[in-house]
A and B are shown apart, each in its own frame.
Chain A
Amino acid sequence: MKCRVCREPAVIDIRRHNANFCSEHFLRLCRDQVARAIKDFEMFEPGARLLVAVSGGKDSLAVWDILRELGYDADGLYIGLGIGEYSDESGRTTRAFAEQRGWPLQIIDLREAYDYDVPTAAKVTKRVPCSACGLSKRHLFDQAAVEGGYDAVVTGHNLDDEAAVLFGNTLRWQTDYLARQLPVLPARSGFPRKVKPLVRLGEREMVAYCVLRGIDYIVEECPMAAGNKHLGYKEALNAIEAQSPGSKQAFYFGFLDRAQAHFAAAAPTAERSDAVELTTCSSCGGPSSGEICAFCFLVRRTAGAQPVALTVKGSS
């Protein structure tokens, strides 16, 4: 296997590009793909102040690293979710990554700051843990970005993530979600701009990037995510990809090029993300569709709740 660029021995094959790359040219490819996504989708300008949502996983650490390599002013924010040893390890990994590089990292621990954690919130609300986890992260990243004067929140969603979300939304024809599935969400009434610079790179490439850059990330999967629908969609798409390389990219970018605008145009006004009338949360001052926002409502519901021991799907 030879590198497509220099003909030196390759370390990775990317079947959807029908190409192999050595370490140097693979890392360059990753940076080029991120730069292209930023430019093509007009994510942000040079000199923008960026807040990277970091979890200790491969994608968030890689996107932080790539943005810094590209010269962007990017700080990190980590949220301690209280998911047992998994959160302990992801916190250690993230802190070590930032400290080794001397990059600014803000940390918010849910239990310390808001007196709840994700397993407890899941039990109190009787909803899946990913629901409380997503709500908490979205609110805190949004709040930190607005208060910190950042130009955008950066997340590590990659091509596989976006294709899997698209697959799920399409299976159920969730047209309201399809109408707003984009790699950029513009800032609006109290919400920061949100961008996904990794949409041109797959999960396999992100692991390869971390290995080749010597980035130590948490490999173990979140114990509360095991068996969720999103992972099932990825498995299905990867079975297709193995038979027909390039399918995931064609599916996602074909949607962006040829379908998303139709769903956006057809979305009833009330379902359009820029059309929902918002007021100010009486508790935190953030944007809200009611008297208090969903996050503050969650904090109130979990107040005084006995912390629950971590339970894992599939365990006895």
Chain B
Amino acid sequence: MKVHLRNPSRTLDVPGPVSIVALLQRLELNRETVLVIRSGTLVPGDAVLEDADEVEIRPVISGGAT
């Protein structure tokens, strides 16, 4: 599957099937800091992604010092 990441923008090919939890563990991402989006909507944490899927892993952390 295609996995799009941000900051910096890049795309990875990851073999499916894989659960969201396993995907984030593989990418060493904290579940508290990202959301997974497929076709414009959220993918729940227990979903399994297939080879044909294309998802975005969107970071949720932002902010300056003020």
Contact residues of A with B, CB < 8 Å? 1, 9-13, 15, 20, 23, 57-59, 128, 130-131, 133-134, 137-138, 160-161, 164, 203-204, 206-208, 211-212, 214, 219-222, 224-225, 228-231, 234-235, 238-239, 241-242
Q: Mark B43-66, 1 if CB is under 8 A from A, else 0.
A: 111100000000000111111111
Q: List 18 A-B contacts (CB under 8 A).
A: A11-B44, A12-B42, A12-B44, A57-B62, A58-B62, A130-B64, A160-B61, A204-B60, A206-B60, A207-B58, A208-B42, A220-B6, A220-B7, A222-B62, A224-B64, A225-B64, A238-B33, A242-B32
When C-beta atoms are compared, the residue in chain B nearest to A20 turns out to be B44
Chain B contributes a number of interface residues (CB within 8 A of A) equal to 24
When C-beta atoms are compared, the residue in chain A nearest to B6 turns out to be A219
A225–B63 touching, CB < 8 Å: yes
Q: A222–B65 Cα gap in the complex (Å)? A: 11
Residues in chain B near residue A137, CB distance under 8 A:
66
Neighbour of A242 across the interface among B7, B30, B65, CB < 8 A:
B30
Secondary structure dominating the interface of A: helix
B64–A241 touching, CB < 8 Å: no
When C-beta atoms are compared, the residue in chain B nearest to A9 turns out to be B44
Secondary structure dominating the interface of B: loop
B66–A203 touching, CB < 8 Å: no
Check B35 for interface membership: any CB of A closer than 8 A.
yes
A252 CB → nearest B CB, Å: 15
Residues in chain B near residue A128, CB distance under 8 A:
65
Residues in chain B near residue A204, CB distance under 8 A:
32-33, 35, 60
Tell me which residues from 1 to 31 in chain B have a Cβ below 8 Å from any Cβ of chain A: 6-7, 30-31
